[in-house]
Amino acid sequence: MKVRGLYRFKQLLSNKCYLYSYTKIAIGIICLWAFPLFAQQSTNIIDWRADEMLNIYLMQQMHQQYVLRNTRLQTALQSAQGVRNYQQQLQAAYHKLLGPLPQKTPLQPVITGTLQQDGYRIEKIIYQSLPQHHVTANLYIPTGKGPFPAALLFCGHEATAKSTPSYQQTAILLAKNGFVVLIIDPVSQGERHQLTDSTGKPLTRGGTTEHTLLNAAAALVGSSVAAYELWDNERGLDYLLSRREVDTARIGCLGNSGGGTQTAYFMAFEPRIKVAAVCSYITSRERTFELAGPLDGCVQIPNEGKQGIEIADYMHLLAPKPLLILSGRYDFVDYIGAVQAYNEARQCYTTLNATDYVQLVTVDDGHGISQPKREAAVRWFRKWFYKDETPVKEGMLNVLPAATLNCTTTGELNNSMPNELTLQQHFLQTATILANSRKKLTGKALADTLQQLLALTAREKVQVEDTGALAHPLGKIEKKLLRSDHEPPLPFLLIRPQEQSIKKVLICLQDEGKRSLLDSAALLQPYLQKGYAILLPDLRGMGETADRPEFNNTKFYNKEYRNVMSSLHLGRPLLGQRVTDLQLLLDYLQTDAAFRQSEVAVHATGMSALVALHAAVVDDRIKYLQVADYLPSFTTIIQQVLQKNWYSAVIPDVLRYYDVPDLLRIVDKRFAFP
């Protein structure tokens, strides 16, 4: 079943809806008829910039998390033992973020070619990081007698990956200065695009888009693209250590931009790394989210904020091993945040009596590992591995075309390796394994699981403000604003029936908001005639509170990407926050004497239907449920990963515990609505 993310209500009403009661599912067709639009009357309720409200709220929540983190850190920095305790706590939190990593299986490395160069040679390497899932890499080996110290070089988001001139130049400079270097193509770049057509042509505009779409799929099975990049690099290290040319006691890593991300995550994870250099990545996560918003899917891991982890913490995990930070003063990676992170790392290293083991090199340029940064990085590696601090001068270096450096015959693993397993296919396999192994949760066990995964917490008392009214053929429509401490205000419209005594209430949810519902009243009129009161809310991030398009880059395939990713960073999936909104409306109905004895029905479509389904499982005040055009399974997101707006439905690790059909099964077992 193909499920689209958003529909106008006129289209929805012509489709089949699924009515869930306590004991049965009633299926019906809703006939379409429309009132004229009342464009001259605004349905907006909030009198400030409502489209910015959710993001402001999320940033405030993030700042609160980091205040707690900063307090813990400052206490830890008072002593070396405090730092070590902090490192142990960080390590546990970081491994929890990464989730379960794959088992190590045979690498089955293949050398597909050798290029002899002046002072070094390049070997073209293909190895398996997962069974039937291959990694392409170039190995630079100095001329002379080894074993040599070695470095893993991680690439940024350039499509050319390992063949990008600046990465070739970095590897050559290291090789000419006595280092074996392994440059690894990251997933979705170089020869490793995962979403391709039959000819190997990528189906997305670039690696950052593919990373992001795959990251949504990975989250559902409890992982991330960052974790799989780390795993590729972990197996690359295993391969590097198998080479006789390598001194296994002297291994470092470095990377730029997205490769800097990989370096930070890897140096914090892998104890075999002795020295590291990070270029054009180190900054403040807190400042980045507020100033630039979340970036692509591989440069942050869901729940980092919840775990209280800042970018600087990955440096703290490396301490007191030597660390070089390379920054451009005019980089789009916030330089003030880079200095802030460096100062924090310096405090940590000083407490560990290793002040000289961390250094910040600032170059008056922008993003990327430019010549002065390359020279500084190689000098840093020679200082610690060769005890030599002589300045390094690059000179002319011979870079090669991408086709020359390719490890495959076609330039893409997908159409050159028989039976190549993509990450999308791997995630589908994982989803199947989880479906076959998970216990079927029912009753309180399922409700408790939803409470935890959606981060639902105790709600504060609600207050409702009357903000006006508007005339409509349906009758007088009241404008209301619901407030509750620690949650953003919730605007909704209320339409009362002519009957004085209200025994039933209908809450209608639609992704495009309350205004879209009023554009066609075919659903509403019959309920009013039956004596229902009707609530039309804009759940957070919908309707008048929807985020502005300019804050959400279209390459991420999601119209509310920054709020979705910020929510996942906080450990509060946006879907869960919207469940809270629905529960707050239920709280309001219980506090208002006019509705206190009323039974509540919910009609929801699209992504809002998922909200209603989850709410119905955790809150038995919803007595009757009608949903349409909903996502049939979270696995559908993995199967149809190129569809837009899937990220809005992502709940990390959800497929370990349940899927949408499990929710439908629970709702289906309810008693009949009176």
Dump pLDDT digits (tens) for 57-116: 999 999 999 999 999 999 999 999 999 999 999 999 999 999 999 999 999 999 999 999
What pLDDT is stored for residue 265 in this prediction?
98
Which domain does 652 fall in, by range?
9-31+445-668
Torsion of Cα atoms, 595 then 596 then 601 then 605, to 10°? 70
Q: Are residues 404 and 450 in the same domain?
A: no
CA atoms 483, 486, 488, 492: torsion sign: negative
Label the pairing between strands 246-256 and 180-184: unpaired
Q: Are residues 261 and 345 in the same domain?
A: yes
Q: Is the peptide bond before 165 cis (omega within 30 degrees of 0)?
A: no
Q: Are residues 657 and 579 in the same domain?
A: yes
Q: Are residues 449 and 395 in the same domain?
A: no
Q: In the predicted model, is pLDDT for residue 666 greater than 90?
A: no
Q: Are residues 248 and 294 in the same domain?
A: yes
| 352 assigned to some structural domain | yes
What pLDDT is stored for residue 199 in this prediction?
85
Question: What confidence category does residue 522 fall into, taking pLDDT thresholds of 50, 70 and 90?
Answer: confident
| 428 assigned to some structural domain | no
Q: Which residues contact 279 (CB under 8 A, 6 or more apart)?
A: 254, 255, 256, 257, 259, 260, 326, 327, 368, 369, 373, 377
CA atoms 187, 188, 191, 197: torsion sign: positive
Is residue 43 within 8 Å of 544, Cβ to Cβ? yes
Dump pLDDT digits (tens) for 17-52: 433 333 233 323 233 333 444 445 789 999 999 999
- From 413, 436, 457, give the residue that closes a domain: 413
| 78 assigned to some structural domain | no
Question: What confidence category does residue 523 fall into, taking pLDDT thresholds of 50, 70 and 90?
Answer: confident
- From 363, 397, 413, give the residue that closes a domain: 413
- From 413, 434, 456, give the residue that closes a domain: 413
What pLDDT is stored for residue 519 in this prediction?
80
Q: Are residues 400 and 480 in the same domain?
A: no
* CATH classification of the domain holding 646: 3.40.50.1820
- Interaxial angle between packed helices 258-269 and 225-241, expressed in degrees from 0 to 180 and rounded to the nearest 10: 70
| 247 assigned to some structural domain | yes
| 73 assigned to some structural domain | no
572: nearest Cα among 652, 513, 658? 652
Q: Ramachandran region of residue 670, left (φ > 0), alpha (ψ -120 to 50) or beta?
A: beta
Q: Are residues 409 and 450 in the same domain?
A: no
| 46 assigned to some structural domain | no
| 25 assigned to some structural domain | yes
Q: Are residues 243 and 132 in the same domain?
A: yes
CA atoms 208, 209, 212, 218: torsion sign: negative
Is residue 8 within 8 Å of 511, Cβ to Cβ? no
Count of domains observed in the chain? 2
Q: In the predicted model, is pLDDT for residue 633 greater than 80?
A: yes
Q: Are residues 405 and 449 in the same domain?
A: no
User: In what side-by-side order are the strands of the sheet with 358-363?
Assistant: 110-117, 120-130, 133-142, 180-184, 148-154, 246-256, 275-279, 323-328, 358-363
Q: Are residues 267 and 311 in the same domain?
A: yes
Q: Which residues pair with 479 in a beta bridge?
A: 468, 493
Q: Are residues 467 and 594 in the same domain?
A: yes
| 437 assigned to some structural domain | no
Q: Which residues contact 437 (CB under 8 A, 6 or more apart)?
A: none
Question: Phi and psi for 380 in degrees, rounded to 5?
Answer: -60, -45
Q: What's the maximum distance between 2 C-alpha atoms anywhere in the chain?
A: 94
CA–CA distance from 437 to each of 45, 218, 430, 656 (Å)? Answer: 47, 18, 11, 8
What pLDDT is stored for residue 205 in this prediction?
85
Q: Are residues 211 and 108 in the same domain?
A: yes
Query: What would the mean pLDDT of 491-496 be, rounded to a whole number?
Result: 96
